[in-house]
């Protein structure tokens, strides 16, 4: 019997980094065994990508559709649960999972929780931690009487699993349980923008830049120091930078970031949800009481324009 079942996520033939984060979370939770499921028409091609430390077995589940289809994935996970009886099923807290995870939990009558960022096993029962009331409260949730628990896990919380392993590889035929899909896949248009979730050095700007005309100054600064330019929600909502550059609860989690420079950002809980996991946060703000300083390793109470000018001069 598999103790923890991890549902890997992939797009356009590439494994999503959050899949490796889930493996690390499963390993940290003290699972007796970790099985990773690869669902999709060509998912078997990714077995090497998930053969990392902590993985005991890989199960491939072929589907008729080459692209993600929520109906097919729901049926595949249901078949996996029926065949393996895992005590915990972990999915990324992502757009794909949102398409079928709630229905999976409801129809299977499993224990269910979303946006989980803490997982523990207490006396043989799973207890998870998630935020409530807009991140103002952290709640621990248990699942009395549930032999299987399904959770979606927040990305950027665990460091991705590394190393290599030689797990057993098997296949499961779930075609008999899949319903015909009512979803039409439309190729998304190319944006030409960067994926900030993979940036290791972020320079983000907030309300403190005051005017749209000032964005260019900080864009040039980001180029000068070798950082990827990001922003808080007010900047994206104003259209000063694309939504794809927004860091936070309604934006993106900068999962790979190692150094985060926050300029003129107050540090709301919504913004912190996208970057508070970063080990090295440097904050610059004129307000000494700004919330961003509570999570920053280094803080400067000062003018972001003066700091920007000094940095550009130094790196010229």
Q: 151 and 17 in one domain? A: yes
Over range 249-271, report the average pLDDT: 90
pTM of the model: 0.69
Question: How many domains are contained in the chain?
Answer: 2
Contact assessment for residue 173 and residue 162, using Cβ atoms and an 8 Å cutoff: no
**Which pLDDT tens digit goes with each residue over 142-156?**
999 999 999 999 987
CATH number for 101: 3.40.50.620
Contact assessment for residue 5 and residue 80, using Cβ atoms and an 8 Å cutoff: yes
Residue 182 is assigned to a structural domain of this protein: no
Contact assessment for residue 165 and residue 51, using Cβ atoms and an 8 Å cutoff: yes
User: Helix, strand or coil for residue 116?
Assistant: strand
Q: 296 and 224 in one domain? A: yes
Residue 179 is assigned to a structural domain of this protein: no
Please give the pLDDT value at position 105: 95
Domain boundary, last residue among 171, 187, 212 = 171
Please give the pLDDT value at position 8: 96
Q: How far apart are CA 186 and CA 286, in angstroms?
A: 46
**Which pLDDT tens digit goes with each residue over 80-104?**
999 999 999 999 999 899 999 999 9
Identify the domain containing residue 124 by its residue range: 4-171
**Which pLDDT tens digit goes with each residue over 194-220?**
889 889 999 999 999 999 999 999 999
Q: How far apart are CA 39 and CA 217, in angstroms?
A: 45
User: Helix, strand or coil for residue 195?
Assistant: coil
For residue 303, pLDDT over 90 is answered with yes
User: Helix, strand or coil for residue 267?
Assistant: coil
Q: 234 and 127 in one domain? A: no
Q: How far apart are CA 51 and CA 96, in angstroms?
A: 22
Q: 14 and 159 in one domain? A: yes
The rounded Cα 28 to chain-centroid distance in angstroms is 17
Q: 159 and 65 in one domain? A: yes
C-alpha closest to that of 310 among 199, 204, 228, 217? 217
Residue 178 is assigned to a structural domain of this protein: no
Higher pLDDT, 52 or 255: 52
Q: Which of 67-71, 167-171, 177-181 has the lowest mean pLDDT?
A: 177-181
Residue 166 is assigned to a structural domain of this protein: yes
Q: 78 and 120 in one domain? A: yes
Q: 88 and 49 in one domain? A: yes
Contact assessment for residue 152 and residue 101, using Cβ atoms and an 8 Å cutoff: yes
For residue 57, pLDDT over 90 is answered with yes
Scanning the chain, the segments in alpha helix (DSSP H) are: 18-28, 70-84, 95-98, 101-108, 215-225, 233-237, 269-272, 304-315
Q: 257 and 219 in one domain? A: yes
Please give the pLDDT value at position 1: 40
Q: 141 and 44 in one domain? A: yes
Pair of tokens at residue 101: 């995870």
**Confidence at 294, pLDDT banded by 50, 70, 90:** very high
Contact assessment for residue 65 and residue 174, using Cβ atoms and an 8 Å cutoff: no
For residue 128, pLDDT over 60 is answered with yes
Q: 90 and 36 in one domain? A: yes
Tell me what the pLDDT averaged over the chain comes to: 90
Q: How far apart are CA 58 and CA 53, in angstroms?
A: 12
Residue 191 is assigned to a structural domain of this protein: no
Q: 280 and 244 in one domain? A: yes
CA atoms within 13 A on the CB side of 217: 18
Residue 222 is assigned to a structural domain of this protein: yes
Q: Tell me the angle at which helices 70-84 and 101-108 cross, rounded to the nearest 10 degrees.
A: 40
Contact assessment for residue 275 and residue 228, using Cβ atoms and an 8 Å cutoff: no
Higher pLDDT, 49 or 194: 49
CA max distance for the chain: 65
Over range 252-271, report the average pLDDT: 92
For residue 188, pLDDT over 80 is answered with no
Q: 160 and 221 in one domain? A: no
Residue 225 is assigned to a structural domain of this protein: yes
CATH number for 256: 3.40.50.1220
Domain boundary, last residue among 132, 156, 171 = 171
Beta-strand relationship, 259-263 and 280-285: parallel
Q: Torsion over CA of 171, 21, 236 and 232, rounded to 10 degrees? A: 170
Among 114-118, 171-175, 195-199, the range of highest mean pLDDT? 114-118
Q: How far apart are the first and last CA of the chain?
A: 60
Residue 184 is assigned to a structural domain of this protein: no
Q: How far apart are CA 58 and CA 52, in angstroms?
A: 11
Q: Which of 81-95, 184-198, 263-277 has the lowest mean pLDDT?
A: 184-198
Q: How far apart are CA 235 and CA 43, in angstroms?
A: 38
**Confidence at 30, pLDDT banded by 50, 70, 90:** confident
Domain boundary, last residue among 122, 156, 171 = 171
């Amino acid at each position: 019997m598999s103790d923890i079942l991890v549902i890997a996520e992939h797009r356009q033939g590439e494994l999503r980094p959050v899949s490796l984060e889930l493996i690390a979370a499963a390993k940290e939770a003290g699972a007796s065994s970790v099985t990773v499921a690869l669902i999709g028409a060509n998912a078997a091609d990714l077995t090497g990508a998930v053969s990392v430390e902590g993985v005991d077995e890989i199960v491939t589940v072929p589907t008729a559709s080459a692209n993600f289809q929520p109906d097919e994935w729901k049926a595949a996970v249901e078949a996996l649960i029926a065949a393996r009886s895992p005590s915990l099923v972990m999915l990324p807290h992502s757009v794909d999972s949102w398409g079928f995870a709630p229905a999976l939990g409801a129809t299977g009558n499993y224990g269910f929780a979303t946006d989980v960022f803490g997982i523990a096993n207490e006396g043989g029962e799973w207890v998870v931690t998630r935020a409530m009331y807009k991140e103002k409260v952290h709640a621990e949730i248990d699942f009395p009487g549930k032999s299987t628990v399904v959770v979606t896990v927040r990305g950027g919380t665990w460091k991705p699993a590394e190393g290599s392993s030689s797990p057993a590889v098997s296949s499961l035929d779930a075609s008999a349980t899949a319903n015909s899909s009512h979803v039409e896949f439309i190729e998304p248009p190319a944006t030409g923008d960067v994926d900030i979730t993979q940036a290791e050095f972020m320079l983000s700007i907030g309300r403190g830049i005051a005017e749209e005309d000032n964005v260019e100054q900080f864009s040039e600064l980001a180029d000068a120091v070798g950082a990827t330019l990001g922003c808080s929600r007010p900047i994206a909502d104003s259209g000063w930078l694309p939504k794809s550059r927004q860091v936070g609860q309604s934006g993106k989690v900068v999962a790979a970031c190692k150094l985060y420079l926050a300029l003129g950002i107050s540090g709301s809980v919504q913004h912190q949800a996208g970057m508070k996991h970063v080990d090295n946060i440097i904050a610059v703000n004129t307000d000494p009481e700004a919330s961003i300083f509570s999570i920053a390793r280094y803080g400067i109470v000062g003018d972001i324009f003066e700091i920007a000018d000094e940095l550009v001069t130094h790196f010229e």
